[in-house]
Amino acid sequence: MADRFPSRRPRPIALATVGVLLATVACTNQAARHASAGAPRSGGSLTFAVNGDPVCIDPQQSPSGTTQLAVRGVVDSLVAQDPRTGRIVPWLATSWTVSPDARRFTFVLRSGVTFSDGRPVDAAAVKANFDRIVDPGTRSQFAVSLLQGYAGSTVVNPHTVTVSFTTPSAPFLQAASTAFLGIESPASFAAGPAATCRRIVGSGPFTLSRYTPRASVLLRRRPGYAWPPSTATHHGGSYLDSVTITIVPEDSVRVGSLRSGQVDAIAAVPPRQVDRLRHAGLTVTRVGLAGVPFSLIFNHARPPLDDVRVRRAVSRAIDADQIVHTLYHGIYPRARGLLTPPTPGYTDPTGGRDTFDPDQARTLLDQAGWTGRDSSGYRTRNGHTLTIDWPYNTPTHDQSDVLAQLVQQQLKRVGVKLVLRPLATGAALSTLAKGDYDITQQSFGRADGDVLRNFFLSTSRDNFSHVALPDVDALLTRGAGTTDPARRDALYGQVLHKLYEDATAFPMYDIVSLVGTSNRIGGLHFTDEGLPVWHDMWIANG
Amino acid sequence: MTTTAAPNRARPGRLVRFLVLRLALAVPVLLGALTLAFAALRVVPGDPVQIMLNASGNGADVGPRQEQVLRHQLGLDEPLAEQYGHYVWHAVRGDFGTSFQTGESVLHTLASAAPASLALAGAALGLAVAVAVVVSVADVWTGNRALHAVASAAGVLAVSTPSYWVGFLLVDLLSFRVPVFPAFGNAGLASLVLPAVTLALPGAGILTQVLTDSLLRTLAEPHVETATAKGAGRLRVLVRHTVRNAFIPTLTITGSAIGNLLGGAVVVETVFARQGLGRAAVDAVTAHDYPVVQAFVFFVTLVYVLVTIVVDLLHAVADPRVSITST
């Protein structure tokens, strides 16, 4: 092509470099911070990054764990649960009595407690709260499930309220310690559920200053707070002036923000980042959460897992230790039994033995009649291949898709064909509702052995295993009928043994919460549900 | 294209007719978008109520009555035709319903997310256009083959590099290692820089290539040679004779680039944890929050329609050969 601008002398042009020059300045100036948190001091603001959006900040409506984390410092509960012992201790209620049939709970409330709008926390307020939760107009998506069988509350006098149920409900005491059943100011209910999704009023050490959806939640200290539970590490109001909970969904950005000091603490540290953070001088705290561990639930309602021998064989063929170490580097502990260790009622039904025994798996499958082989090496019986279908929700958390692939490899070695079906949320839930699966994965957080009832009571709506063991039903019902902790522990221990013998489900790993903090943070401790207690935390001067 | 004696922009009557016609044509387009969104959401497997109630993970039994009431409140127990009728009836009055997840007015949800998205899209568009103009003019002005090769390659690279990778890279280099910009959030101009750069990159790549190409083409045309022969300097040739002509194809591409900005914004908003329409839409899709998704589709369609109209108008302004009555 001819020169576009004729009669110009050619001018050499230095090539502009397109790439960005970095290098020399890029040495990280994140020198390990060895500054310690020092003694508690009043004042300062804390920034905490989480990975999910509350969507609705009202704990009576929202099922979201982020809502819980945000509002645990805004609403108080009738009682608290000691994370070390699992026992229920006083909070807004100084004492309580339970009827022998565990259907009526009478609470005596502490006097002098007020909401941040000045109104008193009295029996009428408690009644208004529980009545509201069960009212369908409130659109509670979770809290109402903790009040199953609720028959109403009676105001005995301004400081005494009796909560009644139609069936024995011993687990209600533990449920009353959660933020889901936290006590909000009834005056705020008049604005309607959509309004309380944006702003709630409680009696806690913080007030909810502002919730910006998908962005942040701002909590401010409430002056004059004087009624923390005995699980708190100090009396009186909070140390911090404010807490900002920022929503940062991307793992790497959240971790990087902690390392670069843009936030003071983060939730949901990915297991593979734990060592890096610790080497950088930051603290990562691992909190074991109570409830049902991440487990593979077998569907007993259809072949091949309707046969207990096949279920036991599959349980023997899975090397959970290998999976857990490969994927989570030992950060997530291997689960034993269908409760996690911090859960009241936990026991190890395996007796500490290694359950991985592929030879026994093969023997059991032979006994069950799966003795043929197809061209790929999978077992067959009467011309049918031994196929197990596992649909699951994508996007996955905690690499559960990779976990499924590892299980698939392990099952192949004993001749079982595991078919994995990744599905979008809607389709995955439909599949679950229709029972169109052989394996589904479940876990659930709750600091009470009664959580087993959700999944393993034969009449429960979430009985995804379709298990129907009358012994287990009886034990679970009795567990819900007594408030004696020792008795309940024994009952749930028996349930765990029976479920283990039945190979109802395969527990894979215990759920833990990984919280990363800068060393300026002090006083970090957690509720029984693994939520940070903002009230007791302080931050040292920069 | 019809050739007219006088420039069309001097005839307001035609302009008004053009606008009225195009806006009238927009109505079936918007209705079609509404209908498709409605239908698509209901065809895809997944029940919004189930999804809402399972947001805590399975294991929470709120009871069949609660579920039924919820379904009724959301209007999901009505027959489909009725749901559709209600929806369109309210939509034409500007009432897009309330979000399934929060109960908040959908317009309020989108309106609170829109400013951040507009700021991001505006900054990214501005940046993309600026980079495209600078690089392509520099390329054409100097005529240096090596620069041309590098600029072309860079343009291709910019388009084909995934934006989440670029985002992570920028965050790591310019926020974590060297603390220049914040890594997340909507606060202030500083938080806009990295996301805008990430979002602008593919657009800049495309625009650069198109603009360079059309500049070169225009410069090869006879009228440029004539102007140069008559003694016009390089600058005058470029500004007076070339740029306006070369900009026309670029204009069309810019229109669709605006659409791409809306799409690419989702990734950027997630990586940089920004509030915005993209994230709001993705959350709504995952949760099967029908009203929010439907409204989002409607407004995106509206934006496309308006942008197309504006681009066509600008075409008529820029190119006297184009009559605005021609479709």
Interface with A, mutate which of B184, B235, B242 (most A CBs under 10 A): B184
Cβ within 8 Å, pair B270-A8: no
**pLDDT tops 80 at residue B164:** yes
- Residues of chain A with Cβ-Cβ distance to B279 below 8 Å are 214
The whole-angstrom separation of Cα B141 and Cα B159 is 24
pLDDT digits (tens, 9 = 90+) for B67-77: 888 888 888 88
For residue A57, report the phi and psi dihedrals to the nearest 5 degrees. Answer: -85, 0
Q: pLDDT class for A25, splitting at 50, 70, 90?
A: very low
Mean pLDDT of chain B: 85
The confidence score (pLDDT) of residue A296 equals: 97
Q: pLDDT class for A189, splitting at 50, 70, 90?
A: very high
The whole-angstrom separation of Cα B101 and Cα A418 is 36
Q: Interface pTM (ipTM) of the complex? A: 0.83
**pLDDT tops 80 at residue B262:** no
Task: Tell me which residue in B103, B144, B171 faces A194 most closely, judged by beta carbons.
Answer: B103
Strand, coil or helix: A452: helix
Cβ within 8 Å, pair B66-A63: no
**pLDDT tops 90 at residue B270:** no
pLDDT digits (tens, 9 = 90+) for B244-260: 777 777 888 888 788 77
Cβ within 8 Å, pair A253-B273: yes
Query: Residue B250 is which amino acid?
Result: T
- Is pTM beyond 0.90? Reply is no
Lowest mean pLDDT among A25-34, A256-265, A332-341, B3-12: A25-34
Cβ within 8 Å, pair A462-B58: yes
The whole-angstrom separation of Cα B308 and Cα B296 is 18
Q: pLDDT class for B325, splitting at 50, 70, 90?
A: low
Cβ within 8 Å, pair A15-B146: yes
- Residues of chain B with Cβ-Cβ distance to A400 below 8 Å are none
**pLDDT tops 60 at residue B63:** yes
Strand, coil or helix: B95: coil
Task: Determine if residue A56 is left, alpha or beta; phi over 0 gives left, psi from -120 to 50 gives alpha, anything else beta.
Answer: beta
- List the single residue in A with minimal CA-CA distance to B73: A137
pLDDT digits (tens, 9 = 90+) for A31-67: 334 457 788 999 999 999 999 899 899 999 998 889 9
For residue A444, report the phi and psi dihedrals to the nearest 5 degrees. Answer: -160, 135
Query: Beta partners for A217?
Result: A211, A245
Peptide bond into A395 cis (omega under 30): yes
Residue among B199, B266, B203, B178 at smallest CA distance from A20: B178
The whole-angstrom separation of Cα B200 and Cα A389 is 44
Tell me the C-alpha to C-alpha distance, in Å, between residue A434 and each of A383, A429, B66, B320.
27, 9, 20, 64
Interchain contact B53–A (C-beta under 8 A) = yes
- Residues of chain A with Cβ-Cβ distance to B157 below 8 Å are 18
Tokens found for residue A441: 């994965």
- Residues of chain B with Cβ-Cβ distance to A144 below 8 Å are 62-63, 66
The confidence score (pLDDT) of residue A29 equals: 37
Which long-range contacts link B240-245 to residues 24+ away (Cβ below 8 Å)?
B242/B215, B242/B218, B243/B215, B244/B318, B245/B214, B245/B218, B245/B221, B245/B318, B245/B319
Task: Tell me which residue in A193, A424, A454 faces B59 most closely, judged by beta carbons.
Answer: A454
Q: pLDDT class for B324, splitting at 50, 70, 90?
A: low
